[in-house]
Amino acid sequence: MAKNLNINLKNIDLKQLFGSLKNIKLTSIKKYASLFPSIGLLVATLVILVVTLLVGGSVSKKMQDSVGVASRVRSAAGSVPSEAQAQEEMQYLEKYIQDADQVDSLMTKASQRELICYNPVIFPEPTDKSAQVYNVFARDYRAAIESLMVRIKAKDAPSDAEIRSQTGIGTGVAGGGLMGGGLGTPTGRAGSSMNAMVDAVCLKRAEEISIYANPSSLHWYGYWDKFVYKSVDESLQNCWSSQVAYWVYEDVIQTIETLNASSTKVSTSPVKRLLGIQFNGPVQVVNPQTMGYGMMGMEPMMGGGMMPGYGSGMTMLDAPTYVKSTSPYMSVAWTGRVCNDQIDVIHFAAAVIMDSTATASFMKELCSMKPHTFREGFLEKGKPETSAHNQITVLQFDIEPVLRDDAAHAYYRYGKNAVVRLNLVCEYLFSRQGYDVIKPAPVKKVLGQEVPGTTAAPDAMGGGTAPMTPGVPMMQ
């Protein structure tokens, strides 16, 4: 087939063919030449139309965008604050900054409190290494606790010895009540007793004071009352623990002072009896005639165990324990606060007998702002400053009815109103920035704070697990 095709192509006269095509092309062109201007005009028109449509769409979009921008600009211009408003906003911001600074300053100053002893210097390290330093501290500490008792016009119920001397009736102590001598078992009801003479002595005491309280219910009073020097480390540690405890004691006493301010006798006082303040377990009520060192948790904790990290012979007393983990200590702390780089946290228990209608007022006042004074630099001659603190949070409370017929209340006269026992577990915060300058090096070691030339010591002051008196459960 290809062969035949080749033959046919050979037989074609190419010149004749191209001549024919040329004639046809030229003839056609000549025939339609008159239409070329119109066709050109049509093509140009189409091109212009297409370009116009494209450009017009772009311009329209840009115009719409411009209109939108203009609208937003006009709207924004209408909402731009005035210069006065801008200045007001700046003042608000400055107040927020001031508030933050004030909170920081308040927290710092809250932990800058009066010391028990300024001369001789005790904290952070005694300038005098002799035992006399601690004898002076012991004297001043007892005086400070006794001063707290005076502030709230407090004494304890009459002792057996007082009743014997004033009535001439022979007595015997059994759970705080008179036994024998034909007296029977006295009651705690006001104006009622098996023996009118004994009752008169008890009522007379209740009329002379605003609250029942015994200095020995604040445990460190008993320790310093019978203080015997053993070593520098032990004495310094106990000075610090009792100083921290004193700040807590003072806040509870100030709360009582405020609530009982208008009362001159127990029967009209909202708070009628301070049972105690304790750091290593719930407050235990004991016979007031035997209160003192060795009572209410003053015996060495954990079976007389030693305080690790502070040398031999150093027993753990009712020392405030720094809370270093969220494990339950005296109570499950709903705040979740533990010691960190900014704060130190301790827990304490307190118990009072009070009018049944005043429990909420007591807790509110306990957690309120309290004024205090401070000597600049913790120095005896430092510039006096007035500040305020609010370091207590109630973690747990429990209210128990008081059975006045119980022997434990035999010599107490609370008045006619119903009374209850209020048990509290509280959290107390300290700002490290505020009081670290006087914190002894051994205490910082226990807390894991950097002390030049030392390494962290074992947990001598607790870390979420509180030492307890053997056989005494924690308050739950």
Q: Which residue has the tokens 């670290």?
A: 436
Look at residue 148 in the predicted model and tell me its pLDDT: 98
H or E element at residue 217? none
Axis-axis angle for helices 232-259, 132-151 (nearest 10): 10
Provide the CA 334 distance to its chain's centre, in angstroms.
11
Does residue 34 come out as left (phi exceeding 0), alpha (psi in the -120 to 50 range) or beta?
A: alpha
Give the DSSP letter string of 422-475: EEEEEEEEEEHHHHGGGS-HHHHHHTT---TT--PPP-TT-SS-----TT-PPP
pLDDT in tens, 159-185: 999 999 988 876 544 334 444 333 434
Angle value at C-alpha 344, between 338 and 345, nearest 5 degrees: 55
List CB contacts of 72: < 8 A, sequence separation 6 or more.
none
Task: Categorize the per-residue pLDDT at 76 as very low, low, confident or very high, splitting at 50, 70 and 90.
Answer: low
> By three-state DSSP, how is residue 229 classified?
coil
Contact at 8 Å (CB) between 278 and 352?
no
Tell me: pLDDT of 243 over 70: yes
Q: Rounded mean pLDDT of the chain?
A: 79
Tell me: pLDDT of 130 over 50: yes
List CB contacts of 154: < 8 A, sequence separation 6 or more.
209, 210, 211, 212, 213, 274
Burial of 322 (0-12, 13-18, 19+ CB in 10 A): buried
Tell me: pLDDT of 471 over 50: no
Look at residue 358 in the predicted model and tell me its pLDDT: 98
What does the alpha-carbon distance between residue 215 and residue 291 come to, in Å, rounded to a whole number?
9
Look at residue 354 in the predicted model and tell me its pLDDT: 98
Task: Categorize the per-residue pLDDT at 287 as very low, low, confident or very high, splitting at 50, 70 and 90.
Answer: low
Tokens read off for 242: 């009792």
Tell me: pLDDT of 13 over 80: no
Q: Report how far apart the first and last C-alpha atoms of the chain are (Å, whole number).
A: 114
Length of the chain: 476
Tokens read off for 238: 């106990």
Closest CA to 274 of 426, 468, 423: 423
Tell me: pLDDT of 1 over 60: no
What does the alpha-carbon distance between residue 290 and residue 178 come to, in Å, rounded to a whole number?
15
What does the alpha-carbon distance between residue 366 and residue 218 come to, in Å, rounded to a whole number?
17
Look at residue 458 in the predicted model and tell me its pLDDT: 46
Closest CA to 175 of 15, 410, 402: 410
Provide the CA 41 distance to its chain's centre, in angstroms.
92
Peptide bond into 120 cis (omega under 30): yes
Closest CA to 225 of 326, 165, 137: 137
Axis-axis angle for helices 160-167, 196-208 (nearest 10): 120
> Where do the structural domains in the chain lie, given as residue ranges?
129-446
Residue ranges of alpha helices (H) inside 111-159 are: 132-151
Give the DSSP letter string of 35-76: GHHHHHHHHHHHHHHHHHHHHHHHHHHHHHHHHHHHHHHHHH
Task: Categorize the per-residue pLDDT at 226 as very low, low, confident or very high, splitting at 50, 70 and 90.
Answer: very high
pLDDT in tens, 288-313: 444 433 333 333 332 233 333 333 33
Contact at 8 Å (CB) between 316 and 467?
yes
Contact at 8 Å (CB) between 275 and 398?
no
Q: Higher confidence at residue 408 or residue 455?
A: 408
List CB contacts of 236: < 8 A, sequence separation 6 or more.
122, 125, 126, 440, 442
Tokens read off for 218: 């604040």
What does the alpha-carbon distance between residue 388 and residue 435 come to, in Å, rounded to a whole number?
15
Give the DSSP letter string of 222-283: HHHHT-----HHHHHHHHHHHHHHHHHHHHHHHHHHHHTTT-SSGGG-SEEEEEEEESSSSP
Provide the CA 229 distance to its chain's centre, in angstroms.
35
Look at residue 11 in the predicted model and tell me its pLDDT: 56
Tokens read off for 28: 């056609």
What does the alpha-carbon distance between residue 340 and residue 322 come to, in Å, rounded to a whole number?
11
Cα-flanking dihedrals φ and ψ of residue 266, to 5°?
Answer: -60, -40
Q: Higher confidence at residue 219 or residue 329?
A: 219
Contact at 8 Å (CB) between 117 and 379?
no
For residue 250, which amino acid is it? Answer: E
Q: Higher confidence at residue 185 or residue 217?
A: 217
Calculate mean pLDDT across residues 347-363. 98
What does the alpha-carbon distance between residue 229 and residue 234 come to, in Å, rounded to a whole number?
9
